[in-house]
Amino acid sequence: MAEEKKSAPGKQPAAKAPAAGKAPAAGKAPAGGKAPATDKAAAPAAAAPKAAAATPAAAPAPEKKMKPSARHTGSAKAARRKLRKKKSQIQARRKKEFTYRGHTMEELLNMPLADIIELLPARARRTYIRGLNEEQQVFVEKLKVAHGPVRTHRREIPILPEFVGKTAMVYTGKDFAQVDIKPEMIGHALGEFAMTRRAVSHSGLGVGATRSSKFMPLK
């Protein structure tokens, strides 16, 4: 009976139904006929708004500072060498012009003594307001016209702009120290630049200074 059913004419095996939950492969039409055209047009249109909503406008990324080694091609050692070479080629900066209380040296030399006194510190200003004594006045007059060093025992004389470029020999209690007057010394006393003390330097201990060296032979 089974063989008769298989060989019965006019009967064909039934087509297998697709498994539940599985859709036909994309791009392939089902066996029964062509896929409707509306499905292809509707698929991109539905996916477009979802893609737009999923990707908001991206903010511009902040710029990162580049390291010295990244600005130059090659290794970090080569980058440092290039930077050192570049720095060595920079010209020397112009020396800053000297000013005293906002006035240049030329302006100070053209100012009257009364105006210069107002610019000095309190101690120096008081010395010139009260007036110089005879010894101080003699030294100031000599220094103004001198072309060489001028000796003095008056260490307390304040330096004026007129003294700049002159040389004074200031007494230290033992000898005379040479002081070349510069613009930075204006308002200071002459004695500040002629030291009266020296640094003390001790030698080694003498024989007999300690118990261990008491019986050492003299060399």
pLDDT score of 208 = 67
> According to the model, what pLDDT value does residue 136 have?
94
> Per-residue pLDDT for 106 more than 80?
yes
3-class SS letters over 191-211:
HHHCCCCCCCCCCCCCCCCCH
Comparing 90 with 160, which gets the higher pLDDT? 160
pLDDT tens profile 49-103:
454 555 555 566 666 665 554 554 568 888 888 888 877 776 556 678 899 999 9
Q: How confident is the model at residue 29 (pLDDT cuts 50, 70, 90)?
A: very low
Query: Which pLDDT value is given to residue 69?
Result: 47
Mean per-residue pLDDT, 8-16: 50
State yes or no: pLDDT of 164 exceeds 80: yes
Do the beta carbons of residue 151 and residue 169 sit within 8 Å?
Answer: yes
> Which residues of the chain form beta strands (DSSP E)?
99-100, 103-104, 150-152, 167-171, 176-180
CA distance 16 to 98: 106
**pLDDT at residue 81 in the model:** 85
Q: What are the φ and ψ backbone dihedral angles of 124, each rounded to 5 degrees?
A: -70, -40
Question: Are the C-beta atoms of 172 and 195 separated by less than 8 Å?
Answer: yes
Between residues 50 and 114, which one has the greater pLDDT? 114
Domains and CATH numbers, the chain: 99-193 (3.30.860.10)
Select from 153, 142, 156, 150 the least CA-distant residue to 178.
150
* pLDDT of amino acid 41: 47
Task: Give Cβ neighbours of residue 188 (< 8 Å, ≥ 6 apart).
Answer: 124, 158, 159
| pLDDT at 36 exceeding the cut of 60 | no
What tens digit of pLDDT does each residue of 165-206 get? 999 999 999 999 999 999 999 999 999 999 999 888 877 667
* Calpha distance 8→196 (Å, rounded): 140
**Mean pLDDT within 19-41:** 49
Which of 95, 96, 94, 99 has the alpha carbon at shortest distance from 183?
A: 99
- pTM listed for this prediction: 0.52
